[in-house]
Structure 1
Amino acid sequence: MSNPPVFGAGIWHFATYKDRYATEGYGPPVGLLEQIDRAGAVGDLAVVDLNWPFAGFDGTLDDVRAALERNGLRAVAITPEIYNRDFVKGSITNPDPAVRAHALRLLNDATELAKQLGCDYVKLWFGQDGWDYPFQVNYRDIWQSAIAGLRELTSAHPDIRFVIEYKPREPRNRIIFPNAARTLLAIQQVGVDNLGVLLDFGHSLYGQETPADAAQLCIDAGRLFAIDVNDNFRGWDDDMVVGSVHLVETFEFFHTLRRNNWDGVWQLDQFPFREDSVTAAKDAIRFLKALHRALDTLDEKALAAAQADHDALAARRLVQRALLTSMVDDAEVDA
């Protein structure tokens, strides 16, 4: 039996969600400290990823520390908001040097905060860095701006890790880091040891990757620093509860991590728009625990033989046996 995983969640999991139809949100506003309390109510979470700046929060960092402590939580990461309307034409690739400088100041400040909170990494999601139309940008110029900005940031803080969370699109029609391969190419060109990948399972699905293959690529490059898990219908970044749609591919993803002895946090990046956020997190972790049991029961020797022969049906039978058994055990536990 392997050691149980450490579970985490983005703090936004416990916020109130808005869209262009429910512009005031699907529930009453939830402040940062209440979000932390909701995360603590899940029971199985050990760490949270915090957005920064703390939106609508007028308390102190000590207040945040106290909320984390009383809920038995630790901040695993800071996610700086370099994707809001201040950066509509990009952050480190913005055509305006003043905006690029502003983005780097924000990123450096976020990194100092991450160090104060004892975080493992700073998460970089460049949602506004990209383009929307053909001929809109000079591709070489924005790529070189991205590499230069990343090198300046990461070289200034060799004592903490940074991760790039890639995504094919949204809010830009094309994001500069859309997939694992292009992100790894950027990391190679930046040329530092403390820059890696956060592989969001749903982004990988949405980008028409095979998430397990993307994970293996990042692991082989020594750059899979973190993961987020969720699910979608592959046509959009739905951020559904993990395992809702792609059960077998989720299992394959975690099998790849297990096979490579990857032991990072199993972190939720879900947006329960209409569901209770605490219940959604509990349900996700219940599923992930069943998946962990299934990994323990999978016949690795028989699977290796099936894969050596590229025998899809033999592999399928082995996977189904492991998954279905774990789900039956889960039902018995609930009973």
Structure 2
Amino acid sequence: MSDQGRIEMQSTVEPTYGAGIWHFATYVDRYATDGYGEPRTVLDAIKLAGKVQDLSVVDLNWPFPPGGISTAEVRDALAEEGLRPIAVTPEFYTGRFAKGGFTNPDPAVRREAIDLVAASAEVGRELGVDYVKLWPGQDGYDYPFQADYTDLWEKSVGAVRELAQRFPDMRFAIEYKPREPRNRMVFSSVARTLLAIEDMGVENVGVLLDFGHSLYGGETPAEAARMAINRNKLFAIDVNDNFRGWDDDMVVGSVHLMETFEFFFALHDADWTGVWQLDQFPFREDPVEAARTGIRTMRAFHRALAYLDREELASAQGRQDALAAQRIAKRALYRALAESETD
């Protein structure tokens, strides 16, 4: 089959590209507690996001950093930059919830975490977002014998079920992660998260698959995506990269180029049409240029999907011929990457 024939077979619809608004924030770590770069509010971050060509949607932390910023102010800032809010991410993973949000042993603190998420869902309704992202980073444990695992599971499942039933018109996407800040997190893998969603018995809860979290957890991200898609539970994705030893949130494709291409192939092959969204932390890089670089790479992946000979790949996979399959994928990917440098 000719290249032209392959291109005509594939969809030419460009994906929508997005980013977490924190991509444009000021970062701190335990050494540079004064931060990398000047302090920025969410309104400052929105202005920076507006400078990134092809960036259409953003995921917003809530309460809006650093506090005291209204929903109306955020809505106006987004409109001025031509951006749409796709999600709100409630911050129930801060020091206040050090012993857990949904799993906190104090019923009052646990209720505070649930109510904070509920308040963020109300804000999401006002803004017209697609989903509320749940990242229960403090829900888990650190030591053997520290907690009753069944209790942690039931509290986590019950809290999300309560929220889903309280907001039946809103979708909730659980972002799983193996660890950090807890040594072990309740929603730590795609399989555990899907099992928890099954236990919830609600339709409006799904998975947000963070590519870096999947790598860090020892998964194959393309396989994890297939598992969620096959159950109609892949609500959203975040993409970045790392060295597998930590959640480095590096620029897309900077380390695991072939695995990232396979991830997008899995999405495209399953007709998944969600936003291709950045979750990068450019500590020492210019945030606007880091976002542009990430989107440029994702656009190359999209182009490579058009160049990929599906019949030839299916034949190689049917034989489990690893070398042939790699050769076919590399031929499409390297051509697209080379072309992206001249666009």
The yes-or-no answer on 1:123 pairing with 2:133 is yes
- 1:69-125, Cα deviation, whole Å (9 max, x unpaired): 010001100000010011001011111111111111101101000000000000000
The yes-or-no answer on 1:211 pairing with 2:190 is no
Percent identity, aligned pairs only? 60
Structure 1 residues 78-93: aligned runs within 5 Å: 78-93=88-103
Unaligned runs of 5+ in 1: none
1:279 alignment counterpart: 289
Q: Following TM superposition, by how much is the alpha carbon of 1:331 offset from its aligned partner in structure 2, in angstroms?
A: 2.4
1:171 alignment counterpart: 181
1:27 alignment counterpart: 37
1:53 alignment counterpart: 63
The yes-or-no answer on 1:106 pairing with 2:116 is yes
2:329 alignment counterpart: 319
Which segments of structure 1 move beyond 4 Å, counting only runs of 4 or more?
A: none
Q: Following TM superposition, by how much is the alpha carbon of 1:221 offset from its aligned partner in structure 2, in angstroms?
A: 1.0
Q: Following TM superposition, by how much is the alpha carbon of 1:55 offset from its aligned partner in structure 2, in angstroms?
A: 2.2
The yes-or-no answer on 1:202 pairing with 2:212 is yes
2:172 alignment counterpart: 162
TM, length-normalised to structure 2: 0.96
2:72 alignment counterpart: 62
> RMSD of the TM alignment (CA)?
0.7
1:9 alignment counterpart: 19
- 1:240-298, Cα deviation, whole Å (9 max, x unpaired): 00000000000000000000000000000000000000000001101111110000000
Distance across 1 between alignment mates of 2:293 and 2:158: 42
TM, length-normalised to structure 1: 0.98
The yes-or-no answer on 1:289 pairing with 2:299 is yes
Distance across 2 between alignment mates of 1:213 and 1:253: 8
Q: How many pairs does the alignment contain?
A: 333
Distance across 2 between alignment mates of 1:31 and 1:82: 19
1:256 alignment counterpart: 266
Q: Following TM superposition, by how much is the alpha carbon of 1:63 offset from its aligned partner in structure 2, in angstroms?
A: 1.2
- 1:113-172, Cα deviation, whole Å (9 max, x unpaired): 000000000000010000000000000111111111111111110101000000000000
Q: Secondary structure at the match of 1:106?
A: helix
Equivalent position to 1:309, from 306, 319, 340: 319
Tell me, yes or no, if the aligned pair for 1:32 and 1:57 is still in contact at 8 Å.
no
Q: Secondary structure at the match of 1:34?
A: helix
Q: Secondary structure at the match of 2:178?
A: coil
2:8 alignment counterpart: none
Distance across 2 between alignment mates of 1:59 and 1:87: 22
Distance across 1 between alignment mates of 2:166 and 2:67: 28
Tell me, yes or no, if the aligned pair for 1:206 and 1:236 is still in contact at 8 Å.
yes
